[in-house]
A and B are shown apart, each in its own frame.
Chain A
Amino acid sequence: MPNARGATVEFRDVTKQYADQVAVDGLSFTVPAGKICILVGPSGSGKTTSLKMVNRLIEPTSGAILIDGTDVLQEDPVQLRRRIGYVIQQVGLFPHQTIEENVGTVPRLLGWPKDRIRSRSIELLALVGLDPKRYAARYPAQLSGGERQRAGVARALAADPPVMLMDEPFGAVDPIVRDRLQAELLRIQRDQGTTVLFVTHDIDEAIRLGDRIAIMKDGKLVQYAPPGELLAHPANEFVAQFVGSDRGLKRLGLLTAGGADLDSGIERAGVDPRAPELKASTTLRDALALMLERGVQQAPVVDDNDGRYLGVLTLAKISKMLGSQA
């Protein structure tokens, strides 16, 4: 059953005060079990600090962080960290260990038997798309940046942690590889039901991956909402600017043709023959692009699986959905 393994993570009025500044200021929010929460915000807004307080690499000045209701400050930090997957921005693979040994790190620390560590490492390498035959025995220096980031993700997943912390894990790769890694992360996360706290600078990445997005500024939480709501109702000017002036289009990227209000009064045969046939899973953003490209006002939508005709999507409907936002 998915979501069985994730844990709830709750920030309760968490503050981190340094001598000359407040890095995190009264942060409160809850990430439900098995969900991905994305922390975004400008540089210095306290994202990394927030993440590191979860696995106690940084201790909060006040407030509490609870994992499934237990305050992390009451746990032994070493034991706590072995239960929390951690991917740091610079990846931080161990240069002196093979990829397989790297991936087996936490299981080894937990004292798993050797053959179980081995089979788990091999399984995870395959899971992140690194062919174990080719990569298991290599050293990190023999991998590309993108491959290293995958290995870093595999390493963080090794002991089935209920919580994963990921600090800009896909920062160093080109857009195409990043796309693939994002898709892989989503697939793995759904599979394993892990709760993920994920830091990024990239609002598009946040919208793509997030079940919830936490927008931070100067150590404070500005808005905490699912991506659709964030795009439809930015809490203030800062959020609106941060998500971009094209937030309407971005929001269309989250909606699908199948989920739109289709006009089923029109016969399939009656639709403009130049119109592209859309699958129900096509995003409205892609649908809009296709329709503009062909110069049509409407397009038929069919079921992904059996190709059954569902109705017609019209430009007017898309435009109305854009207009329906605040």
Chain B
Amino acid sequence: MTEGEPLIRWDWIGSHLDEIGFRLLQHVELTAIAVTVGFIIAFVLSLLILRIPRIEGPVTWVTGTLYTIPSLALFALLIPYTGLTLLSAEIGLVSYTLLILIRNIVRGIRDVPADVIEAATGMGYDNSDRFWRVEVPLATAVIIAGVRVATISTIGLVTVTALIGQGGFGFLILIGIQRFFSTELIVGAVCSVSLAIFADAMLVLLQRRLTPWTRVAG
């Protein structure tokens, strides 16, 4: 940081609103794609686990291992194959969402009370009706809890993908570091955290909308 330079130069922010807006869109896009694709893959894998319980161990092992690879290392490993591309970034981001999403989807469905399942079957729901109209709605709160964690951690990780040219707010942080320019760094970090908080609040609202019955008890 240059001597005598203030920590934050508000005028920089004022003159870079376009840039910040662009990074915001990029950040949201990277996150949304990662969580959506991650959710679809996790849902399919969860269906398989629920149907064939013995694959739960292997699936958990693979997604757990992916989860423990340091993000920088994972991106570096991908570059020889997929380059400095959106695809590289998304492969990494998606793989980090899988463990938590699968865990919550499977747990949410398994936690549906046995008496409710028995009543549904006994009244003449067929298996797929029962799954979509009884089990999935009742698992929604737990599933969204998983989506919240996946979303927040993805928003954090997107700042790292700046290193392979796909950064959102991470790009501001990275440039700020390279240029010893604290304003840009701080703006990147604060925006990223704010986005995480905002996204989480939106998901809480979504959950309340989708599961009105969870708010009436007591």
Contacts and interface: CB of A to CB of B under 8 A. Distances in A.
A57 B118 contact: yes
B210 to A, nearest CB: 9
Interface of B: 113, 115-116, 118-126, 129, 134, 137-138, 211-213, 216-217
Interface size grouping (class) on chain A? 20 to 34
Interface string A68-87: 00000000001111100010
B168 to A, nearest CB: 36
Interface stretch (A25-33, A138-146, A236-244): A138-146
Please indicate which of the listed interface residues B121, B134, B138 has the most CB atoms of chain A within 10 Å of its own CB: B121
A109 B134 contact: no
Please indicate which of the listed interface residues B116, B125, B134, B137 has the most CB atoms of chain A within 10 Å of its own CB: B116
A314 interface: no
Interface string A91-118: 1111111000000011001000000000
A44 to B, nearest CB: 19
Contacts of A109: 123-125, 129
Nearest to B136: A96
Q: Is the interface of B mostly helix, strand, loop or mixed?
A: helix
A82 B138 contact: no
Nearest to A110: B124
Contacts of A86: 119, 122-123
Contacts of B123: 81-82, 86, 105-106, 109, 155-156
A177 to B, nearest CB: 20
Contact of A55 (B115, B122, B129): B122
Nearest to B141: A96
Contacts of B120: 92, 94
A88 interface: yes
A139 B124 contact: no
B217 A106 contact: no
A57 B201 CA distance: 43
A81 B137 CA distance: 22
A148 to B, nearest CB: 11
A55 B138 CA distance: 25
A57 B122 CA distance: 7
A106 B213 contact: no
A97 B122 CA distance: 17
Given A57-B122, A106-B123, A91 B213 contact: no
A96 B115 contact: no
Given A92-B119, A140-B213, 19 more contacts: A55-B122, A57-B118, A57-B121, A78-B124, A80-B124, A82-B123, A86-B119, A88-B118, A90-B115, A92-B113, A92-B115, A95-B213, A109-B129, A139-B216, A139-B217, A141-B213, A141-B217, A156-B123, A165-B122
Contacts of B129: 109
A225 to B, nearest CB: 29
Contacts of B126: 78
B213 A81 contact: no
Given A109-B124, A109-B125, A94 B216 contact: no
A127 B129 CA distance: 29
Given A139-B216, A141-B213, A142-B217, A96 B124 contact: no
Contacts of B217: 139, 141-142
A78 B137 CA distance: 21
A316 B121 CA distance: 55
Nearest to A105: B123
